[in-house]
Structure formats: structure tokens, C-alpha cells
Amino acid sequence: MPIVDLPLSELAVYEGRNPRPDDHELYWTQALLELGRVQADVKIDPVAHPATFAECFDLTFTGVRGARLYAKYLRPERPSRKKRPGLAVFHGYTLASPAWFELLPYVAQGYSVVAMDCRGQGGRSQDPGGVPGTTVSGHIVRGLGEEPRDLLYRQIFLDAVQATRILMDMPEVDGGRVGVAGASQGGGLALATAALETRVKAAVAVYPFLCDYQRVWEMDLANEAYAELREYLRRFDPTHEHMEQMFTTLGYIDVQHLAPRVWADVLMATGLMDTVCPPSTQFAAYNRIMSRKEQVIYPDFGHEDLPGMADRAMTFFAERL
């Protein structure tokens, strides 16, 4: 079998290369305290949609640093005397929340669903400067030259937590039966959210992004989704005098270092031919998860549609939520 990374036996015990900052725990404790002080000012507006079994809404809320965030919110059209489960869905890097149509299968299953647009990317959420996000890349390295608390992904992780908490607080949602899901960046955000909001009960992460940055660099795969690592060094540290500090700072937003905080049941999917989010970087996070977990391996697949994974995810949530 051809491989692009370590053999599967070595992946199973791989512990990651990117350093963890000494004050990592304090960093996220302070971040969550900041989030707790934010007045979300949630607003929902109905959206006309032909689905006969669902109600659809534009949902907006205020995140950390004053950004106004957008999300799609869907719920079953018929009210229930019992509160229903909920699911927070996160999208891939530079993109936006899925189309309403793509979220409807979960509503048909009886879930209320929130799908947030990440700030500064391809959707309707505001960037911290107060404008709709239109950037294509550069989010990993944004804030590297400032204080660690200014890292953009710190704010995006907190946005994902806040969107999930808003879902949990919806009157029709059972806050103890909420899951998170996503692929690539969405998979990374699902794990980060489950780590930072421990009430999350189940998480599905398909080839998660934002893990083990130094490993990506050492494999010479800092291209495509991780290309900004190379560009940052070329522009701001061409002789690599400060590269060690760069990777240490990125450790604050490395999902592998958040993974031990996850309490949720986890289902992860990894393609062993993935050159966008290399398998070892995904295993770096998976191997640190201490809760109940399962990993589905696709030996011949890369960063692409994984046959049968959507059905596995639906079954996983149905059994846990």
C-alpha cells in the first residue's frame, strides 16, 4: 500500500511535534473568561425555504472583540413536547456554512442545527475590523507578530464555542444532547469546541485541520491549506532565527494540545493519502483524546469525499444524542 506519511503502526503511537506553550492552560482559561463577559445579543430572522418539515433562520450574534457573527439556524417545523437534540456544524477553510439543503437531513432526524460562518472567511460573519470577511488565507499566522491572545484562530475557536452555547440555550434544544461536526477546518473546530465546551456530548471530525503545524512543515507539506506557514517565514523570518518561537506560539491554537480536554465521544475519519492535512497531524490530536473514541481509516483516500462517512456520522449521532 502506498503511503505519504508514517506507517499505520507508528501513527497509532505518534505524539506530535509542535511544542505546547507552558501557559497553554492559563491561556484558554483566560480566553473562556473573556468569552463569558461577551453580551451575545442574539437575533434570529425567519428565512423563506420550501422544506416542509423545517424552519430556517438567519442567526446573528456578537463574538469576542466585538465582531458580529452570522450562522444558519434550522429546527424541525413541528413543535415537540420534549426538547430535541442539537448539532453545531462547522465549515472548511476559507469557505462558508453549508447550503440550507445540506443541513436538512439532520433536521429531518429531529435535530436543531446551527452552522456558523467563520469570521474573516467566505461567509457573512464580520472580521474584527467590523467588515464582512473576504480573506482567502493567512488566518493561521494572523496575530503571530502580536500578543498570543491576538491570534485570529483564538477568536474563531471562541466563536465556535459561543455558537454551540447559543444552540444549547435554545428553548427547544436539550443542552445535554448537543453534538459538533465538521471536515477539515470544520473537523478541527469540532474538536476545539468539544474541548472548550465540555457539555458537548458527541463530536465527528473528518480529517481535521489545525493540528501539529511543525509536523506539516517538516514534511515539506506547507502548501495548499498550510501554505501561509511557508509564506510567513519567507516574508518575516527568512533565516529562521525565530522559527522555534513561531511554532511555540502556534501551539496555543494547535488542536492536539486541546484534545485532552475533550469529554465527548469522538468519531474521526482519516485518509492515509491525505497531503493537505497529513495523517500524522490528525493522529497527533486523536492519540491525545482520552474520552471514548473511534477512528475510521481510508487507506487509499486523501482530502476528499470519504465514501460512507456521512452515514457513519448520522448513525454515530443517532446513538448518542
Write a three-state SS string for the chain. Answer: CCCCCCCHHHHCCCCCCCCCCCCHHHHHHHHHHHHHCCCCCCEEEEECCCCCCEEEEEEEEECHHHCEEEEEEEEECCCCCCCEEEEEEECCCCCCCCCHHHHHHHHHCCCEEEEECCCCCCCCCECCCCCECCCCCCCCCCCCCCCHHHCHHHHHHHHHHHHHHHHHHCCCEEEEEEEEEEECHHHHHHHHHHHHCCCCCEEEEECCCCCCHHHHHHCCCCCHHHHHHHHHHHHHCCCCCCHHHHHHHHHHHCHHHHHHHCCCEEEEEEECCCCCCCHHHHHHHHCCCCCCEEEEEECCCCCCCCCCHHHHHHHHHHHHC
pLDDT digits (tens, 9 = 90+) for 106-120: 999 999 999 999 999
pLDDT higher than 80, residue 129: no
pLDDT of residue 130: 61
pLDDT of residue 128: 78
pLDDT higher than 90, residue 258: yes
pLDDT of residue 78: 79
Lowest-confidence pick of 145-154, 191-200, 253-262: 145-154
CB 71 within 8 A of CB 116: yes
pLDDT of residue 224: 87
Instruction: Tell me what the pLDDT averaged over the chain comes to.
Output: 95
Distance CA 21, CA 285 (A): 16
Distance CA 24, CA 41 (A): 29
The arithmetic mean of pLDDT across residues 13-31, rounded, is: 97
pLDDT of residue 1: 55
pLDDT digits (tens, 9 = 90+) for 41-83: 999 999 999 999 999 999 999 999 999 999 999 999 977 789 9
pLDDT of residue 2: 58
Q: Could you tell me the pTM of the whole model?
A: 0.97
pLDDT higher than 80, residue 196: yes
pLDDT of residue 295: 98
CB 102 within 8 A of CB 89: no
pLDDT higher than 80, residue 132: no
Q: Where are the domains of the chain?
A: 8-316
pLDDT of residue 290: 98
pLDDT of residue 174: 97
Enzyme catalytic residues? 184, 274, 303
Lowest-confidence pick of 77-86, 93-102, 246-255, 279-288: 77-86
pLDDT of residue 216: 97
The arithmetic mean of pLDDT across residues 221-227, rounded, is: 92
pLDDT digits (tens, 9 = 90+) for 171-182: 999 999 999 999
Which of 214, 157, 140, 146 is closest to 28 using CA atoms?
157
pLDDT of residue 137: 81
Residues 6+ positions from 9 with CB-CB distance below 8 Å:
none
pLDDT higher than 70, residue 205: yes
Domain 8-316 CATH superfamily: Alpha/Beta hydrolase fold, catalytic domain (3.40.50.1820)
pLDDT higher than 90, residue 135: no
Provide, rounded to the nearest whole percent, the portion of the chain with pLDDT above 90: 92
pLDDT of residue 280: 98
pLDDT higher than 80, residue 131: no
